[in-house]
Chains A and B, each alone.
Chain A
Amino acid sequence: MSTSIAGDADRLAIRARGLTRRFGELVAVDHVDLDVPARRVYGFLGPNGSGKSTTIRMLCGLLTPSDGQIEVLGLQIPAQADALRPHIGYMTQRFSLFEDLTVRENLEFLAAIQGVPKSRTKRRIDELVDQYHFADRQKQLAGTLSGGQKQRLALAGAVIHEPELLFLDEPTSAVDPESRRDFWEKLFELADLGTTLLVSTHLMDEAERCHRLAILDRGRLVADGTPGELTAALAGRTFLIDTADPRRAQRTLVDVPGVLGVAQVGTSLRVLAGDDKGMIQRMDEALAAAGQHAGVAPAAANLEDVFVAATRGGVTGAGDREREHAA
């Protein structure tokens, strides 16, 4: 998919340098550099509290950065935030439409506020009602919609004025898997139509769908690239261990020099190691010394490994961090 729009790859929708935001002593976002290409779905992956929402709020001019420069669609933020607003859509983490207005009333309100021309308002709302499957729910109060329906309505509201750039802050956190799939299809449709999307998530499978992504951890940008690039960088560092007693094997393996993380997946173990040579042999020996029978085999890296590698960096041994995975 990324090759079809390669011609646009040079155009940046967002460019941020040294973006920093402090809340008193806490540094929520710490010198983040971002380059978000136009017409792509760009993912922000990170656990709760990693600074995703704060970064998004700074990029759309809702929060003033403590430090750093931002350029969004060629405008300096926050100085030119007012000029930017008509060109962006923002879907907040919490459902932020009016629960005591109906589906149609919400859309009518947003159309007026966003300056959709009066002559086009009715047609545009009909179009959205149709596209987002609200035909039989136009008169239903938004507060009585299900989680997935609310998200769909929020997205419809965010794109009512056909913005060039759409910010989505954990849009699917309260949605079942089926609705999530539909939702992501809508996002790709929008990208195909030329919208740039910036989506934050803490779900690995969602991150994998993005054209490009940035991984945030405790306010720092720890990795960025396409999902393919990010996983390819870990080639030869991930292993699958088949053992009869995964819990014991896990305790043995975390102490092996070079091991960054061990996670149990079903009855097997997934190991992420540092860039050392001879890891398989080292793990085999450690398991044998502990009297355990296990088969160690190389495995393909996934985004979860990327995330663990990026956030644990050079730290050897996983025992010092309680948080196993972001998901």
Chain B
Amino acid sequence: MSWRRLWAIVLKELRQLRRDRVTLAMIIGIPIIQLVLFGYAINFTLRGLNAGIADQAGTAGSRALVMDMLSSGVIAPVAVANTPAALMEMIRRGQISVGVVIPPDFERRRIDGREVAQILVDGSDTAVQSAAAQLAQTPIDSARPSLRAPLASTPAPAPISVVSFYNPQRLSTVNIVPGLIGVILTMTMVLFTGIAVVRERERGNMELLIATPLTSTELMIGKVLPYIAIGLVQASVILALGIWLFHVPIRGSVLDVYLATCLLILASLALGLLISTRAQSQFQAMQMTFFVFLPSILLSGFMFPFAGMPKFAQWFAEILPLTHFLRLIRGVMLRGASLWELWGEVLALAVFTLVMMTAAILRFRKRLD
């Protein structure tokens, strides 16, 4: 590995980019146009949300209520807690997205006609919010008609209140903007690197390069470095516009937001390089990019809720870097989580990058055959 050769590649890429006005315009144009389009246009119902239950009453009536909620299929219980605070903590860590709290004085409240239960919602995902609203409609005692008789005289209660954390006004832009960083970066980063290497093959530059002492590692890393900077510029444009136009909050640390972004950029660039070692033409590189890009948009949880997908689709989505990035960025920006608390996603992105980069370097032969 020679630093001088590496730098020569980086400098060459930057010089070429500086003269490519269309690409330069796209680097800034794509995020702006997509943010405005998606931000104003997209609105998102679902089943099987991970739920935590805190039944502090523990009476037959409260258990019946929980069973009614579960039978709706909207939530699936994965955790049991004693206090609402414990549920909130689980939501913050991304373990559950819905918490059901039934207070100790459940029976009393029911007789008084006050709110009998509370649903805590991870508002960083709008789809979860609308599901919670649906849960709140659960009739208190439809399953127990015997209980209804003594209550017939009281006015119909507003039985269950919904508390949405992190996105109280249920703005879908609030969760689209962080996701959009991921979508735009996935598209541009994979495409740019995919094309960057193939273009040199098409133009005949590669035949010259492989006849020189330049190594595969120098070439690959040299090509990736300038695009990390470009990715960060794009992320900044989206964040700035998101805050200015849509008032998207950054509740976690800005450093964590950028670190998470760097992880996605690296993963996408490594994937782009792998594509470029395979594609014979720029057109093929573009097709392969879209082969990755469409499932990323559709399966990662950006467009459709992850929890609503069939198991095999979920497994597939776990391979996509965007899935992990969305969990990271929503966690950091909307729930104020730290990267350390979301270490599993960080690890997944790092492993993805390492595997793809190694495969790209191994696949890139300094040969024409």
Chain A positions near chain B (C-beta within 8 angstroms)? 57, 60-64, 78, 81-82, 85-86, 88, 90, 92, 94-101, 105, 108-110, 112-115, 118, 141, 157
Bound complex: CA A61 to CA B209 (Å): 13
B207-221 near A? 1/0 per residue, CB < 8 Å: 111111110000000
Cβ-neighbour of A101 out of B2, B16, B213 (below 8 A): B16
Task: Compute how far the CA of A95 lies from the CA of B207 in the bound complex, rounded to whole angstroms.
Answer: 10
Contact of A96 among B2, B16, B205 (CB under 8 A): B205
User: What 5 A-B pairs are tightest by C-beta distance, nearest first?
Assistant: A112-B8, A96-B208, A90-B211, A94-B204, A96-B204
B interface SS class:
helix
Q: Give A110 to B9 CA distance when docked, in angstroms.
A: 10
CB-contacts of B205-238 with A (<8 A): 205, 207-214
* Chain B residues in the interface with A (C-beta under 8 A): 2, 4-5, 7-9, 11-12, 15-16, 19-20, 203-205, 207-214, 366-369
What's the nearest-Cβ distance from chain A to residue B170, in Å? Answer: 49
Given A90-B208, A90-B211; A62-B12 close (CB under 8 Å)? no
Are B204 and A113 in touch, CB under 8 angstroms? no
12 new A-B pairs (CB below 8 Å) besides A96-B203, A97-B205, A115-B2?
Answer: A60-B211, A82-B213, A90-B211, A97-B208, A100-B16, A101-B15, A101-B16, A105-B15, A109-B12, A110-B212, A113-B9, A113-B213
Kindly list chain B residues whose C-beta atoms are within 8 Å of the C-beta of A86: 213
Rounded to whole Å, the gap between the CB of A140 and the closest CB of chain B is 13
- The complex places the Cα of A115 from the Cα of B213 at a distance, in Å, of 8
Count A/B pairs, Cβ under 8 Å. Answer: 78
Cα–Cα, bound, A115→B208 (Å)? 15
For A87, give the chain B residue with the smallest CB separation: B213
Contact of B212 with A113 in the complex, beta carbons under 8 Å: yes
A180 to B4, CA, bound (A): 35
Cross-chain contact of B212 among A78, A98, A114, A141 (Cβ < 8 A)? A114
A31 to B20, CA, bound (A): 46
Name the one of B2, B207, B214, B369 contacting A92, with C-beta atoms under 8 angstroms: B207
Q: What are 22 A-B pairs at a CB distance below 8 A?
A: A62-B207, A63-B367, A82-B213, A82-B366, A85-B212, A85-B213, A94-B207, A95-B204, A96-B203, A96-B207, A100-B16, A100-B19, A100-B20, A101-B12, A101-B15, A101-B16, A105-B12, A112-B5, A113-B9, A114-B213, A115-B4, A115-B5
CA distance A150 to B316 in the complex (A): 50
Contacts of B19 in A (CB 8 A): 100, 141
The minimal Cβ–Cβ distance linking B21 to chain A, given in whole angstroms, is 11
Q: Is the CB of B209 within 8 A of A62?
A: no
Checking B5, B15, B368 against A113 with a beta-carbon cut-off of 8 angstroms, the contacting residue is B5
| Residues on the A chain within 8 Å of B12, using CB | 98, 101, 105, 109
B207 (CB) vs chain A CBs: closest residue: A92
A113–B214 touching, CB < 8 Å: yes
Complex Cα gap A118–B3 (Å): 12
A72, chain B: closest CB distance, angstroms: 12
Name the residue of chain A whose CB is nearest to the CB of B18. A100
Q: Which residues of B contact A97 (CB under 8 A)?
A: 205, 208
Distance A115 CA – B4 CA, assembled complex (angstroms): 8
The distance from the CB of A249 to the nearest CB of chain B, in whole angstroms, is: 46
How many angstroms between the C-alpha atoms of A94 and B15 in the bound complex?
A: 22
Q: When the two chains form their complex, are residues B211 and A64 in contact, meaning their CB atoms are under 8 A apart?
A: no
Asked if residues A88 and B4 are in contact (CB atoms below 8 Å), the reply is: no
B7 touches A112 (CB 8 A): yes
CA distance A88 to B212 in the complex (A): 8
**Nearest chain A CB to B223's CB is how many angstroms away?**
13
A115: chain B residues within 8 A (beta carbon): 2, 4-5, 213
Chain A residue nearest to B205 in the complex (CB): A96
The complex places the Cα of A99 from the Cα of B211 at a distance, in Å, of 19
